Each structure stands twice: as structure tokens, then as C-alpha cells.
Amino acid sequence: MRTVRNSGKAALSLLALAGISGLVACGSGEPEAQEDVTISPPTGQVWAWQSLSGSDPIEVATPEHYTLDFGEDGRYGIRADCNRGQGGYTFDDGRLVINPGPMTMAACPPGSYDSRFLALLSEVETATRSGDRLTLELTDGSSMLFEPLPTSAALGGTETLGGSEWEISAYNNGRGGVRTLVAATRMSIAFGEDGTVSGSSGCNTFSGTYFADGATIEIGPVVLTKKMCAAEEVMEQEEQFLAALGNSAMYEIRGDRLQFRNAEGALQVDLSR
């Protein structure tokens, strides 16, 4: 982490004194409060968009509808009003590159900033943190201000999995890689209040049980329908996804993102609300 400290500046007034040569510098007022600006990865928070500065400024009335969640694995989750998605990013000594990824394509209500939000993120050049604020500087000199999403909003109003539904964004293929879904396929999962789990694995549907205690989770065994999938790659995806679910030992909900990891901390399934 690199830290840049901005010193307070005392205003100087130059007074010309008759009959006396030279200049006298006089301080005016108290020094401004010092502010620490850190250049460090934007991880560890779900960030909610507050405003845009520049020639066409924006004050965001519903920051919780425009969020970013940067994972330590180089992937991020995003909410752009009524749409959600994920992608990859790189961060190097303050320079931030946000690469676009798969997004839902719902038509948001009039007045939404969903398209504008995504367009602005493609213009990000640098990221700095000051206290509990994140500032993204854009190529045109404007900047986007973010603040942490409150805990209650980050958890979507619930502290448990029971009663929640999710769509799968990516899964571990069992060979050390995390891959996104095969084109034109959809996988989802729902957790009941009674400890049951059900969902779609892209071709077949499944059901079973789960047990969650604190940050730990155990899913399965699950029962799968036996429909033949149209493509071999879809069947392979289904098999790998269900294996990743079975390997999951820990979970974390952050904003609109849910992640399952194995006992060693390796990502197994990445999901969005």
C-alpha cells in the first residue's frame, strides 16, 4: 500500500512596506486537516456509487442500485440498477482497468443510470481510497465517488441463505479453473427456510438439502432429473457445477454476490442475486 499525504497550506500574503525593502510572508487561518489518500486495491467492501463530478455531474439518489464488489481473485460483481453481472479487473499501483463481462439485459425504468454507469466504468483510469471513500478517476478528468454499502443493504435484508434465490455466474471446473457458463444456458439455485435446496443445472433440475452454520455450509446430497442434454458441453458443465457445489465448505454474501469456497479457500461457485 502506498500513502500520499496532502499537507495543509497556509495562505501567504505579500505586504509591501514603505521605506523597508523585502517581502514579509504572513499566514492566514488554521491549517486544513490532513487527509490520507491510499493507493491500494479496492477490495474488502461493497462500493455504492454516490456521485459523478465533472462537466455533466450526477448525484445518485439510490446508491444501493449501483454497486461494485471487487474480489481478491481479480473478479468483480456489479449491479447496474435492474441489471447484474460480473467480470475481471486489474489493479497496479493505482491504475485500475475494469474489463466488461456478462450482464443481464433487462430494460430498467425511465431515469435509470444503468447504461451510463457501465459506460463510465469503461473509462476508469485510476482508483484511490480516502478513509471510507473510493474515488475512480476517468479519462476525461471527471471522477466517480463511492462509499461502502451499509451492512443491512449488503446482506439484502437477510443474514442467512434461507429464502434467497441466486443465478450462477461462474463455477470451478475441477481442474483449477473458474469458467463462465456455456452460451445460452442458465443455472440457478434457491435455498429454502427449511434447509432444502433446489435449482436448475443448465439442463436438468436438482433438489436436496443444505446446512449452514455461520460461514460454513454443506450442500447435498442432491437428486438430479435424468433428462439428456442437447450438447455434450452442457452435460459436462452440469457435472462440473454439481461437483463444485458438493465441494463447497464456506460461503460469503456481499451485496448482490454470493460465493462458495472449499476448505482451502478456492472459489467453487460465483453467484448473483
From first CA to last CA, the distance across the chain in angstroms is: 32
Per-residue pLDDT of 200-233, as tens digits, reads 999 999 999 999 888 889 998 899 998 888 789 9
Among 28-37, 235-244, 249-258, the range with the most confident prediction by mean pLDDT is 235-244
**Does 72 score more than 60 pLDDT?**
yes
Hey, what's the cell of 70?
Answer: 471487487
**Does 251 score more than 80 pLDDT?**
yes
Yes or no: domain 39-154 corresponds to CATH 3.40.640.10: no
The sign of the dihedral angle between the CA atoms of 158, 164, 170, 176 is positive
Question: What are the boundaries of each domain within the chain?
Answer: 2-36, 39-154, 164-272
Name the average pLDDT for the chain: 83
Q: Which of 226, 221, 214 lies closest to 243, judged by CA? A: 221
* CB neighbourhood size of 182 (10 A): 15
Residue 113 region by backbone torsions, left for phi larger than 0, else alpha for psi between -120 and 50, else beta:
alpha
Beta bridge partners of 89: 98
**Does 183 score more than 70 pLDDT?**
yes
Using CA atoms, how far residue 169 sits from 18, 76, 132, 134, 270, in Å, is 76, 11, 29, 26, 6
Q: Which of 198, 240, 238, 204 lies closest to 219, judged by CA? A: 198
Per-residue pLDDT of 117-154, as tens digits, reads 999 999 999 999 998 899 999 999 999 999 998 754 44
Per-residue pLDDT of 147-174, as tens digits, reads 998 754 443 433 578 899 999 999 999 9
**Does 84 score more than 90 pLDDT?**
no
Segment 61-68 long-range contacts (CB within 8 Å, at least 24 positions apart)? 63/147, 63/149, 64/149, 64/150, 64/153, 66/113, 66/117, 67/149, 67/255, 67/256, 68/42, 68/121, 68/146
Average pLDDT over residues 241-248: 94
d(CA 243, CA 172): 9
**Does 69 score more than 60 pLDDT?**
yes
Whether 164-272 and 39-154 are alike in CATH topology: the answer is yes
Hey, what's the cell of 151?
Answer: 451492512
Q: Nearest-5° angle of CA 262, CA 267, CA 268? A: 70
Predicted structure pTM score: 0.56
3-state per-residue secondary structure call for 160-216: CCCCEEEEEEEEECCCCCEEECCCCCCCEEEECCCCEEEEECCCCEEEEEEEEECCE
Per-residue pLDDT of 19-60, as tens digits, reads 333 433 444 455 455 557 778 899 988 899 999 999 999 999
- Which CATH number, 3.40.250.10, 3.40.50.2000, 2.40.128.270, 3.40.190.10, labels domain 164-272? 2.40.128.270
**Does 12 score more than 60 pLDDT?**
no
d(CA 204, CA 267): 23
